Amino acid sequence: MASSSSRPSHRSVFDAAYVRAEFETAGISPHFIPLIWKYVLQNPRCADLDGVPSLPAAAYALLRNKFRPTTSTLTAAAESKDRTTTKLLIRLQNGESVEAVIMRYDSRLGKYDGKTRPGGVRSTLCVSSQVGCKMGCRFCATGTMGFKSNLTSGEIVEQMVHASRYSQIRNIVFMGMGEPLNNYTALVEAIQVLTASPFQISPKRVTVSTVGIIHSINKFNNDLPNINLAVSLHAPDQDIRCHIMPAARAFPLAKLMNALQSYQSVSKQTIFIEYIMLDGVNDQEEHAHQLCKLLETFKVVVNLIPFNPIGSSSNFKTSSEQNVKKFQKVLRGIYGIRTTVRQEMGQDIAGACGQLVVSLPDERSAGGATLLSDIEDLRL
């Protein structure tokens, strides 16, 4: 058992289960909790919770003794030259750091059905669920950190609070540091907070990415209905998958596909398939045909991801643009599978996919994350 000195003296007020339990014990109605969250969201730099209006006196004493508005601190923010991407470095209460990335997409720059799309700038927040990651994917910088700790649900939500200082967030993707389904309880609790008052993010605008943790996929729809599921498949067969994703040995491809089939038959949700393009490894036309046969009974959108070299230690190379186009042509043209190529954002601030890793103690970050071209467009 951990000693009392290793436990934080104050919890995040966004640790929903804990704050609800404390309110219940004190005989305070939980209906006040969203009001507290709204206050912090509107006053992200507040040092205490004494300014929350219209609470019972007992609530102020409880909040003062046990909670902080946020337990994490925004220590740095880097903006890309084109201003489409902002990368946030956030220090946690335990001294570790994580990154969150805001990506802005102007819907008016795209077309749908031959016409200019209506709307304007939409912001997506890519959040982290762990410090480091156990999965050890060989093409991902986060894997080089190893696993350090799980984030609490409050620390996950606080990334949204920090990001709200820079942009009005419309979409959330769990594609940052860590394997979200390996921090399942905190993930579920955080999403339940983010999709309720005062955040009110639509479940349809929340996407969780996983390498394929089968036992968590089996309960995903029950716990998180209407939330999008993205699967980091990255290979059309088990051998290649194990070569580039060592953790895949624990999740055989056949069993993973069975779990996804069961999930889709119940949820009726489109599954997003993420596929990183590695030169000579998984990017040949034969691999495209194999992938299509694997997915032929599913309703999916395949997102092809240009590989971002993560430094001199990388053993992989980026697929040529020609190979990416050929691969996409097989999926789209022959098999009719909707396929997109990920738009890379924030590369000049190391804010592109697969590079996310925090470099400490000098506070410089060597990574970030990116997303499907724009998550809303993939639902059309």
Helices (H), the chain: 16-25, 33-42, 57-66, 153-163, 184-194, 214-223, 238-244, 253-267, 285-295, 321-329
Q: What was the pLDDT predicted at 140?
A: 78
User: What is the residue whose two structure tokens read 């691969």?
Assistant: 327
pLDDT tens, 269-299? 999 999 999 999 999 999 999 999 999 999 9
Question: With 50 as the cut, is the pLDDT of residue 250 above it?
Answer: yes
Give the pLDDT confidence score for residue 309 in this predicted structure.
78
Looking at the predicted structure, is the pLDDT value of residue 364 above 60? no
pLDDT value for 310: 64
Q: In the predicted model, is pLDDT for residue 375 greater than 80?
A: no
Q: CB of 110 within 8 A of CB of 85?
A: no
Q: How confident is the model at residue 349 (pLDDT cuts 50, 70, 90)?
A: very low
Residue whose C-alpha is closest to residue 68's, from 131, 18, 102: 18
pLDDT digits (tens, 9 = 90+) for 24-53: 999 999 999 999 999 999 998 899 999 999
More confident residue, 344 or 176: 176
Q: What is the pLDDT of residue 135?
A: 82
Cα 81 to Cα 135: distance, rounded to the nearest angstrom: 32
User: Is 41 exposed, middle or buried (CB count within 10 Å of its CB: 0-12, 13-18, 19+)?
Assistant: middle
Is the pLDDT confidence value at 372 over 50? Answer: no
Task: Out of 22, 96, 99, 376, pick the active-site residue.
Answer: 99
How far is residue 228's CA from residue 280's CA, in Å, rounded to a whole number? 31
For 340, other C-beta atoms within 10 Å of its C-beta total 18
Write down the pLDDT at residue 357: 54
pLDDT in tens, 68-98: 999 999 999 999 888 899 999 999 999 999 9
More confident site: 353 or 152: 152
- 201: number of Cβ within 10 Å: 18
User: Among 126, 133, 137, 353, which one carries the catalytic annotation?
Assistant: 353
* Residue 179 in tokens: 């394997």
286 is catalytic: no
Q: Are 220 and 209 in contact (CB under 8 A)?
A: no
Q: With b meaning 16 or more CB within 10 Å and e meaning fewer, what string describes 75-96?
A: eebbbbeeebbbbbbbbbbbeb
Q: Is 353 considered catalytic here?
A: yes
